[in-house]
Amino acid sequence: MSSLKLSSLALALAMGSSAALLSACSSVSDAYDYLTDATDNPVKEPTGYYQHATAREYVDPLQVPSELVQPYTDNTFVVPQVEVTKESRTLVGANMDVRPPVVAQVSEMGVEIVNSDQDAVLWFMPYNQFGVQSEQEAWDLLVAALGFMEVPIANADRERLILDTAACDYNAFGEPYDTVSAEFEARRYSQTYKIQVGHSMNGQVGYYIALITSSSFTADGDAWAETLNLRQKSSFAVGMGNSIIKAMVLQSQAKEEIPDTINVLLARDNNDQDALIVQAPYSATWNVLRGLLEQYSFTIDEYSISRSNYKVEVSEEDPDYYRALGVEPFGLESGTYIVRLAVSGDNTVITFYDEDDRPLPTIKVAGLYAGFAQALQQEFAIYKREGANYLAKFLEEE
Protein backbone atom coordinates (compact mmCIF):
# COMPACT_ATOMS: atom_id res chain seq x y z
CA MET A 1 0.00 0.00 0.00
CA SER A 2 2.67 2.49 1.09
CA SER A 3 4.96 1.70 -1.84
CA LEU A 4 2.06 2.32 -4.17
CA LYS A 5 1.35 5.62 -2.55
CA LEU A 6 4.98 6.63 -2.72
CA SER A 7 5.11 5.64 -6.35
CA SER A 8 2.04 7.81 -7.08
CA LEU A 9 3.45 10.78 -5.20
CA ALA A 10 6.78 10.43 -6.92
CA LEU A 11 5.04 10.26 -10.25
CA ALA A 12 3.06 13.40 -9.48
CA LEU A 13 6.15 15.27 -8.41
CA ALA A 14 8.01 14.06 -11.44
CA MET A 15 5.24 15.22 -13.75
CA GLY A 16 5.01 18.64 -11.99
CA SER A 17 8.75 19.12 -12.23
CA SER A 18 8.70 18.27 -15.92
CA ALA A 19 5.86 20.78 -16.56
CA ALA A 20 7.68 23.55 -14.69
CA LEU A 21 10.84 22.78 -16.55
CA LEU A 22 9.01 22.90 -19.89
CA SER A 23 7.35 26.24 -18.96
CA ALA A 24 10.64 27.76 -17.91
CA CYS A 25 12.30 26.58 -21.06
CA SER A 26 9.51 28.09 -23.20
CA SER A 27 9.79 31.53 -21.51
CA VAL A 28 13.54 31.61 -21.85
CA SER A 29 13.28 30.51 -25.47
CA ASP A 30 10.74 33.24 -26.28
CA ALA A 31 12.82 35.94 -24.61
CA TYR A 32 15.91 34.76 -26.44
CA ASP A 33 14.02 34.76 -29.75
CA TYR A 34 12.73 38.29 -29.04
CA LEU A 35 16.25 39.57 -28.47
CA THR A 36 18.05 37.69 -31.21
CA ASP A 37 15.49 37.13 -33.93
CA ALA A 38 16.05 39.54 -36.85
CA THR A 39 12.51 39.16 -38.17
CA ASP A 40 9.98 41.76 -36.88
CA ASN A 41 6.65 40.07 -36.31
CA PRO A 42 4.54 42.15 -33.95
CA VAL A 43 1.84 39.52 -33.95
CA LYS A 44 3.90 37.52 -31.48
CA GLU A 45 3.77 40.10 -28.70
CA PRO A 46 0.73 42.24 -27.85
CA THR A 47 2.97 44.85 -26.24
CA GLY A 48 2.00 47.94 -28.30
CA TYR A 49 4.96 47.57 -30.57
CA TYR A 50 3.68 47.82 -34.14
CA GLN A 51 5.19 48.04 -37.53
CA HIS A 52 4.96 51.61 -39.04
CA ALA A 53 4.61 52.47 -42.72
CA THR A 54 7.59 54.21 -44.20
CA ALA A 55 7.06 57.95 -45.17
CA ARG A 56 7.31 58.91 -48.79
CA GLU A 57 7.84 62.43 -50.11
CA TYR A 58 5.73 63.52 -53.08
CA VAL A 59 6.32 66.38 -55.50
CA ASP A 60 4.15 69.51 -54.83
CA PRO A 61 1.39 69.39 -57.52
CA LEU A 62 0.91 73.26 -57.49
CA GLN A 63 2.84 74.71 -60.36
CA VAL A 64 3.20 78.52 -60.42
CA PRO A 65 3.74 79.93 -63.93
CA SER A 66 7.18 81.40 -64.31
CA GLU A 67 5.85 84.70 -65.62
CA LEU A 68 3.74 85.24 -62.47
CA VAL A 69 6.05 87.10 -60.17
CA GLN A 70 3.43 88.77 -57.86
CA PRO A 71 0.07 87.23 -56.80
CA TYR A 72 -3.09 89.35 -57.31
CA THR A 73 -3.94 91.68 -54.41
CA ASP A 74 -7.36 93.31 -53.94
CA ASN A 75 -6.79 96.98 -53.11
CA THR A 76 -10.46 97.89 -52.77
CA PHE A 77 -10.23 98.62 -49.06
CA VAL A 78 -6.75 100.07 -48.98
CA VAL A 79 -6.81 103.52 -47.34
CA PRO A 80 -4.99 105.94 -49.65
CA GLN A 81 -2.33 108.24 -48.34
CA VAL A 82 -3.87 111.71 -48.22
CA GLU A 83 -1.77 114.77 -47.67
CA VAL A 84 -2.92 116.85 -44.71
CA THR A 85 -3.99 120.34 -45.77
CA LYS A 86 -5.01 123.47 -43.92
CA GLU A 87 -8.64 122.82 -44.81
CA SER A 88 -8.61 119.17 -43.77
CA ARG A 89 -7.28 120.07 -40.33
CA THR A 90 -10.51 121.97 -39.69
CA LEU A 91 -12.64 118.89 -40.45
CA VAL A 92 -11.71 116.92 -37.34
CA GLY A 93 -12.78 116.98 -33.72
CA ALA A 94 -15.25 119.69 -32.76
CA ASN A 95 -14.92 121.30 -36.19
CA MET A 96 -16.05 118.19 -38.07
CA ASP A 97 -19.10 118.76 -40.26
CA VAL A 98 -21.43 115.89 -39.43
CA ARG A 99 -24.38 117.09 -41.53
CA PRO A 100 -25.45 114.63 -44.23
CA PRO A 101 -25.43 115.83 -47.83
CA VAL A 102 -28.70 117.34 -48.99
CA VAL A 103 -30.57 114.73 -51.01
CA ALA A 104 -32.29 115.77 -54.23
CA GLN A 105 -36.04 115.96 -53.80
CA VAL A 106 -38.00 113.36 -55.75
CA SER A 107 -40.87 115.13 -57.46
CA GLU A 108 -43.92 113.60 -59.09
CA MET A 109 -44.20 116.77 -61.16
CA GLY A 110 -41.71 115.51 -63.75
CA VAL A 111 -38.63 117.37 -62.45
CA GLU A 112 -35.33 115.93 -61.20
CA ILE A 113 -32.03 117.23 -59.81
CA VAL A 114 -28.58 115.81 -60.52
CA ASN A 115 -25.17 116.78 -59.15
CA SER A 116 -22.53 118.36 -61.35
CA ASP A 117 -19.35 118.51 -59.26
CA GLN A 118 -20.10 121.22 -56.68
CA ASP A 119 -23.13 122.54 -58.59
CA ALA A 120 -26.60 121.18 -59.37
CA VAL A 121 -28.69 120.81 -62.52
CA LEU A 122 -32.50 120.79 -62.40
CA TRP A 123 -34.04 119.05 -65.44
CA PHE A 124 -37.61 119.22 -66.72
CA MET A 125 -38.71 115.81 -67.98
CA PRO A 126 -40.70 115.74 -71.25
CA TYR A 127 -43.80 114.80 -69.24
CA ASN A 128 -43.37 117.54 -66.59
CA GLN A 129 -46.65 118.85 -65.21
CA PHE A 130 -45.56 122.49 -65.40
CA GLY A 131 -45.87 122.40 -69.18
CA VAL A 132 -42.27 123.59 -69.62
CA GLN A 133 -41.01 122.70 -73.10
CA SER A 134 -38.88 125.73 -73.98
CA GLU A 135 -36.13 127.75 -72.32
CA GLN A 136 -38.33 130.86 -72.27
CA GLU A 137 -41.07 129.02 -70.38
CA ALA A 138 -38.46 127.74 -67.92
CA TRP A 139 -37.14 131.29 -67.43
CA ASP A 140 -40.58 132.72 -66.66
CA LEU A 141 -41.28 129.91 -64.20
CA LEU A 142 -37.90 130.46 -62.48
CA VAL A 143 -38.47 134.20 -62.00
CA ALA A 144 -41.95 133.52 -60.60
CA ALA A 145 -40.59 130.83 -58.21
CA LEU A 146 -37.86 133.11 -56.87
CA GLY A 147 -40.46 135.82 -56.35
CA PHE A 148 -42.64 133.35 -54.43
CA MET A 149 -39.60 132.43 -52.30
CA GLU A 150 -38.93 136.14 -51.71
CA VAL A 151 -35.38 135.70 -53.02
CA PRO A 152 -34.21 139.04 -54.52
CA ILE A 153 -32.65 139.10 -58.00
CA ALA A 154 -29.53 141.26 -58.37
CA ASN A 155 -29.00 140.89 -62.13
CA ALA A 156 -31.15 139.27 -64.81
CA ASP A 157 -30.12 138.87 -68.45
CA ARG A 158 -33.26 137.82 -70.28
CA GLU A 159 -31.42 137.37 -73.59
CA ARG A 160 -28.74 135.07 -72.19
CA LEU A 161 -31.25 133.57 -69.71
CA ILE A 162 -28.91 133.93 -66.75
CA LEU A 163 -29.48 135.65 -63.41
CA ASP A 164 -27.69 136.36 -60.13
CA THR A 165 -29.57 136.39 -56.86
CA ALA A 166 -28.88 139.10 -54.32
CA ALA A 167 -27.64 138.13 -50.85
CA CYS A 168 -30.34 136.28 -48.98
CA ASP A 169 -30.38 134.18 -45.80
CA TYR A 170 -30.66 130.38 -46.04
CA ASN A 171 -30.49 127.53 -43.54
CA ALA A 172 -28.08 124.59 -43.71
CA PHE A 173 -30.33 122.81 -46.23
CA GLY A 174 -30.31 125.59 -48.82
CA GLU A 175 -33.83 126.70 -47.90
CA PRO A 176 -34.76 130.36 -47.31
CA TYR A 177 -34.33 131.17 -43.63
CA ASP A 178 -37.76 131.30 -41.99
CA THR A 179 -39.35 131.48 -38.55
CA VAL A 180 -38.95 127.74 -38.03
CA SER A 181 -35.19 128.01 -38.61
CA ALA A 182 -35.07 130.93 -36.18
CA GLU A 183 -37.01 129.04 -33.50
CA PHE A 184 -34.48 126.21 -33.64
CA GLU A 185 -31.61 128.74 -33.64
CA ALA A 186 -30.29 127.22 -36.85
CA ARG A 187 -27.14 128.64 -38.36
CA ARG A 188 -27.74 131.33 -40.94
CA TYR A 189 -25.98 131.52 -44.32
CA SER A 190 -25.98 134.69 -46.40
CA GLN A 191 -25.53 133.43 -49.95
CA THR A 192 -25.75 134.38 -53.60
CA TYR A 193 -26.44 132.01 -56.49
CA LYS A 194 -26.04 132.09 -60.24
CA ILE A 195 -28.78 130.28 -62.17
CA GLN A 196 -28.74 129.79 -65.92
CA VAL A 197 -31.46 128.35 -68.12
CA GLY A 198 -30.22 126.01 -70.83
CA HIS A 199 -30.77 122.71 -72.57
CA SER A 200 -28.97 119.42 -73.05
CA MET A 201 -27.77 117.84 -76.31
CA ASN A 202 -31.13 116.12 -76.69
CA GLY A 203 -33.06 119.35 -76.13
CA GLN A 204 -34.03 118.78 -72.50
CA VAL A 205 -34.55 122.10 -70.68
CA GLY A 206 -33.13 122.77 -67.24
CA TYR A 207 -31.50 125.12 -64.71
CA TYR A 208 -27.78 125.16 -63.87
CA ILE A 209 -27.45 126.26 -60.22
CA ALA A 210 -24.13 127.37 -58.72
CA LEU A 211 -23.36 128.76 -55.26
CA ILE A 212 -21.25 131.93 -55.70
CA THR A 213 -20.70 133.42 -52.23
CA SER A 214 -21.50 132.24 -48.72
CA SER A 215 -21.02 133.80 -45.28
CA SER A 216 -22.12 132.02 -42.12
CA PHE A 217 -23.69 133.54 -39.01
CA THR A 218 -25.22 132.34 -35.79
CA ALA A 219 -28.99 132.62 -35.32
CA ASP A 220 -28.34 135.90 -33.48
CA GLY A 221 -26.45 137.33 -36.43
CA ASP A 222 -22.89 136.94 -35.12
CA ALA A 223 -20.33 136.18 -37.82
CA TRP A 224 -19.09 132.59 -37.92
CA ALA A 225 -15.92 131.83 -39.84
CA GLU A 226 -16.48 128.78 -42.04
CA THR A 227 -14.94 127.71 -45.31
CA LEU A 228 -17.23 125.44 -47.32
CA ASN A 229 -15.75 122.32 -48.89
CA LEU A 230 -16.91 120.85 -52.21
CA ARG A 231 -19.46 118.55 -50.59
CA GLN A 232 -21.05 121.42 -48.68
CA LYS A 233 -21.23 123.59 -51.80
CA SER A 234 -22.93 120.75 -53.65
CA SER A 235 -25.42 120.30 -50.80
CA PHE A 236 -26.37 123.98 -50.86
CA ALA A 237 -26.83 123.94 -54.65
CA VAL A 238 -29.08 120.87 -54.44
CA GLY A 239 -30.99 122.43 -51.54
CA MET A 240 -31.60 125.56 -53.61
CA GLY A 241 -32.92 123.36 -56.43
CA ASN A 242 -35.26 121.60 -53.98
CA SER A 243 -36.58 124.96 -52.79
CA ILE A 244 -37.26 126.05 -56.37
CA ILE A 245 -39.19 122.82 -57.06
CA LYS A 246 -41.25 123.27 -53.88
CA ALA A 247 -42.11 126.85 -54.86
CA MET A 248 -43.16 125.77 -58.36
CA VAL A 249 -45.35 122.99 -56.95
CA LEU A 250 -47.07 125.34 -54.50
CA GLN A 251 -47.67 127.90 -57.22
CA SER A 252 -49.13 125.37 -59.65
CA GLN A 253 -51.50 124.02 -57.00
CA ALA A 254 -52.59 127.49 -55.99
CA LYS A 255 -53.58 128.25 -59.60
CA GLU A 256 -56.29 125.59 -59.65
CA GLU A 257 -59.69 126.81 -60.65
CA ILE A 258 -61.74 126.67 -57.47
CA PRO A 259 -65.44 127.56 -57.80
CA ASP A 260 -66.66 130.38 -55.61
CA THR A 261 -69.34 128.09 -54.19
CA ILE A 262 -68.53 124.44 -53.46
CA ASN A 263 -71.50 122.11 -53.53
CA VAL A 264 -71.37 118.87 -51.52
CA LEU A 265 -73.98 116.23 -52.32
CA LEU A 266 -75.01 113.07 -50.49
CA ALA A 267 -75.04 110.26 -53.05
CA ARG A 268 -73.56 106.84 -53.81
CA ASP A 269 -70.24 106.03 -55.44
CA ASN A 270 -69.48 103.53 -58.21
CA ASN A 271 -69.39 100.72 -55.62
CA ASP A 272 -72.95 101.64 -54.55
CA GLN A 273 -71.69 102.89 -51.19
CA ASP A 274 -72.93 106.02 -49.42
CA ALA A 275 -70.52 108.87 -50.12
CA LEU A 276 -70.12 112.65 -50.34
CA ILE A 277 -69.74 114.10 -53.84
CA VAL A 278 -67.66 117.30 -53.79
CA GLN A 279 -67.95 119.47 -56.89
CA ALA A 280 -64.27 120.48 -56.89
CA PRO A 281 -60.97 119.19 -58.37
CA TYR A 282 -59.41 116.16 -56.74
CA SER A 283 -56.04 117.73 -55.74
CA ALA A 284 -57.76 120.75 -54.16
CA THR A 285 -60.16 118.48 -52.27
CA TRP A 286 -57.24 116.37 -51.02
CA ASN A 287 -55.49 119.46 -49.64
CA VAL A 288 -58.66 120.94 -48.12
CA LEU A 289 -59.59 117.63 -46.50
CA ARG A 290 -56.22 117.49 -44.80
CA GLY A 291 -56.80 120.92 -43.30
CA LEU A 292 -60.34 120.03 -42.28
CA LEU A 293 -59.35 116.85 -40.46
CA GLU A 294 -56.80 118.70 -38.35
CA GLN A 295 -59.33 121.42 -37.46
CA TYR A 296 -62.16 119.17 -36.27
CA SER A 297 -60.72 116.71 -33.71
CA PHE A 298 -59.40 114.22 -36.28
CA THR A 299 -55.89 112.93 -35.61
CA ILE A 300 -54.20 111.76 -38.82
CA ASP A 301 -52.32 108.54 -37.99
CA GLU A 302 -51.20 107.99 -41.57
CA TYR A 303 -52.08 108.93 -45.11
CA SER A 304 -51.19 107.62 -48.55
CA ILE A 305 -51.22 109.69 -51.70
CA SER A 306 -50.85 106.59 -53.87
CA ARG A 307 -53.82 104.83 -52.22
CA SER A 308 -55.66 108.15 -51.77
CA ASN A 309 -56.76 107.65 -48.18
CA TYR A 310 -56.41 109.01 -44.67
CA LYS A 311 -56.42 106.85 -41.53
CA VAL A 312 -57.67 108.96 -38.63
CA GLU A 313 -58.53 108.76 -34.95
CA VAL A 314 -61.73 110.55 -33.92
CA SER A 315 -62.33 111.95 -30.44
CA GLU A 316 -66.05 112.28 -29.86
CA GLU A 317 -66.91 115.87 -28.98
CA ASP A 318 -69.92 117.57 -27.45
CA PRO A 319 -72.36 118.97 -30.09
CA ASP A 320 -71.62 122.50 -28.83
CA TYR A 321 -67.98 122.03 -29.87
CA TYR A 322 -68.99 121.73 -33.53
CA ARG A 323 -71.62 124.48 -33.35
CA ALA A 324 -69.01 126.85 -31.94
CA LEU A 325 -67.03 126.21 -35.15
CA GLY A 326 -70.07 127.09 -37.27
CA VAL A 327 -71.05 123.55 -38.32
CA GLU A 328 -73.48 120.85 -37.29
CA PRO A 329 -72.16 117.92 -35.18
CA PHE A 330 -70.52 115.11 -37.15
CA GLY A 331 -72.12 112.40 -35.06
CA LEU A 332 -69.09 110.06 -35.10
CA GLU A 333 -68.20 107.98 -32.05
CA SER A 334 -64.59 107.89 -30.88
CA GLY A 335 -62.56 105.37 -32.83
CA THR A 336 -60.49 104.71 -35.94
CA TYR A 337 -61.80 105.55 -39.42
CA ILE A 338 -60.52 105.44 -43.00
CA VAL A 339 -61.41 108.27 -45.39
CA ARG A 340 -60.94 107.57 -49.12
CA LEU A 341 -61.02 109.92 -52.08
CA ALA A 342 -61.71 109.12 -55.72
CA VAL A 343 -62.17 111.00 -58.97
CA SER A 344 -65.53 111.08 -60.71
CA GLY A 345 -65.29 113.33 -63.76
CA ASP A 346 -64.78 116.88 -62.51
CA ASN A 347 -65.95 115.90 -59.03
CA THR A 348 -64.29 114.23 -56.04
CA VAL A 349 -65.90 111.37 -54.11
CA ILE A 350 -65.29 110.96 -50.35
CA THR A 351 -66.20 107.61 -48.78
CA PHE A 352 -65.96 106.71 -45.07
CA TYR A 353 -64.96 103.32 -43.61
CA ASP A 354 -64.57 101.94 -40.09
CA GLU A 355 -61.32 100.51 -38.66
CA ASP A 356 -62.14 97.10 -40.20
CA ASP A 357 -62.33 98.77 -43.62
CA ARG A 358 -66.09 98.36 -43.91
CA PRO A 359 -68.15 101.26 -45.32
CA LEU A 360 -70.13 103.18 -42.76
CA PRO A 361 -73.88 102.39 -42.78
CA THR A 362 -76.26 104.80 -44.45
CA ILE A 363 -77.57 106.23 -41.18
CA LYS A 364 -74.02 107.17 -40.08
CA VAL A 365 -73.16 108.86 -43.39
CA ALA A 366 -76.47 110.72 -43.36
CA GLY A 367 -75.78 111.99 -39.83
CA LEU A 368 -72.27 113.04 -40.84
CA TYR A 369 -73.28 114.78 -44.06
CA ALA A 370 -74.64 118.13 -42.87
CA GLY A 371 -71.77 119.09 -40.58
CA PHE A 372 -69.02 117.69 -42.80
CA ALA A 373 -70.38 119.47 -45.89
CA GLN A 374 -70.42 122.78 -44.01
CA ALA A 375 -66.85 122.20 -42.81
CA LEU A 376 -65.71 121.45 -46.37
CA GLN A 377 -67.28 124.64 -47.69
CA GLN A 378 -65.59 126.71 -44.98
CA GLU A 379 -62.16 125.15 -45.62
CA PHE A 380 -62.48 125.62 -49.38
CA ALA A 381 -63.07 129.33 -48.81
CA ILE A 382 -59.89 129.53 -46.71
CA TYR A 383 -57.96 127.48 -49.27
CA LYS A 384 -58.99 129.73 -52.11
CA ARG A 385 -58.12 132.85 -50.12
CA GLU A 386 -54.71 131.67 -48.83
CA GLY A 387 -53.61 129.67 -51.86
CA ALA A 388 -50.03 128.39 -51.54
CA ASN A 389 -49.78 129.56 -47.92
CA TYR A 390 -52.52 127.07 -47.03
CA LEU A 391 -50.35 124.27 -48.40
CA ALA A 392 -47.05 125.53 -47.01
CA LYS A 393 -47.95 124.67 -43.42
CA PHE A 394 -48.34 121.01 -44.36
CA LEU A 395 -44.99 120.95 -46.18
CA GLU A 396 -43.32 122.42 -43.09
CA GLU A 397 -44.78 119.61 -40.96
CA GLU A 398 -43.26 116.99 -43.27
Query: Do residues 171 and 186 touch, judged by C-beta distance below 8 A?
Result: yes
| Residue ranges matching CATH 3.30.530.50 in the chain | 89-254
CA distance 324 to 89: 63
Whether pLDDT at 290 is above 80: yes
Mean pLDDT on 206-235: 85
pLDDT at position 39 is 53
Q: Where does the pLDDT of residue 30 fall: very low under 50, low under 70, confident under 90, or very high at 90 and above?
A: low
Give me the chain's average pLDDT, please. 79
Determine whether domain 89-254 maps to CATH 3.40.50.720: no
- Of the listed ranges 214-223, 265-274, 335-344, 358-367, the least confidently predicted one is 214-223
Tell me which of 256 and 159 has the higher pLDDT: 159
Whether pLDDT at 6 is above 50: no
| Residue ranges matching CATH 3.30.310.170 in the chain | 264-397
Q: Where does the pLDDT of residue 398 fall: very low under 50, low under 70, confident under 90, or very high at 90 and above?
A: very low
Tell me which of 126 and 371 has the higher pLDDT: 371
Top-level CATH class of 264-397? Answer: alpha beta
Q: Where does the pLDDT of residue 4 fall: very low under 50, low under 70, confident under 90, or very high at 90 and above?
A: very low
Tell me which of 172 and 94 has the higher pLDDT: 172
Q: Where does the pLDDT of residue 5 fall: very low under 50, low under 70, confident under 90, or very high at 90 and above?
A: very low
CA distance 93 to 87: 13
pLDDT at position 165 is 95
